[in-house]
Amino acid sequence: ILGFSTPPGRLSMMAFILNALTCALGLLFFIRRGKQCLDFTVTVHFFHLLGCWIYNSRFPSTLTWWLVHIVCIALMAAIGEYLCMRIELREIPLNSAPKSNV
């Protein structure tokens, strides 16, 4: 179904890319570590590969399938790492506790 020449193929590819963007937000909320984003991204896509292999009873061999997933892995890892690094590099507030009069 993935292909550049048909509208359903282009729509499916756009859905995969939008999914990669939303999963990058998921990395921000669930992982919160920039160093672990690539690991979790590859793990999620590996499980997706296994699911596709089991569901179709054959290994995915289409070039467009592999290209779309490589682009999605790169997008999800890069954007997720960027978002997580922004959170990690925030200033730590030093005067957040109220003063006590003892």
Q: At what angle do helices 37-56 and 7-30 cross, to 10 degrees?
A: 140
* pLDDT given for residue 24 in this prediction: 93
34 contacts 88 by C-beta, under 8 angstroms: yes
What DSSP designation does 61 have?
Answer: -
- What value does the CA radius of gyration of the chain take, rounded to a whole number of Å? 19
| 3-state percent helix, strand, coil for the chain, nearest multiple of 5 | 70, 0, 30
* pLDDT given for residue 97 in this prediction: 63
Low-confidence ranges of the chain (pLDDT < 50): none
pLDDT in tens, 31-51: 888 889 999 999 999 999 999
* pLDDT given for residue 99 in this prediction: 67
CA 89 to chain centre: 20
34 contacts 81 by C-beta, under 8 angstroms: yes
Residue matched to tokens 């592999």: 66
* pLDDT given for residue 72 in this prediction: 95
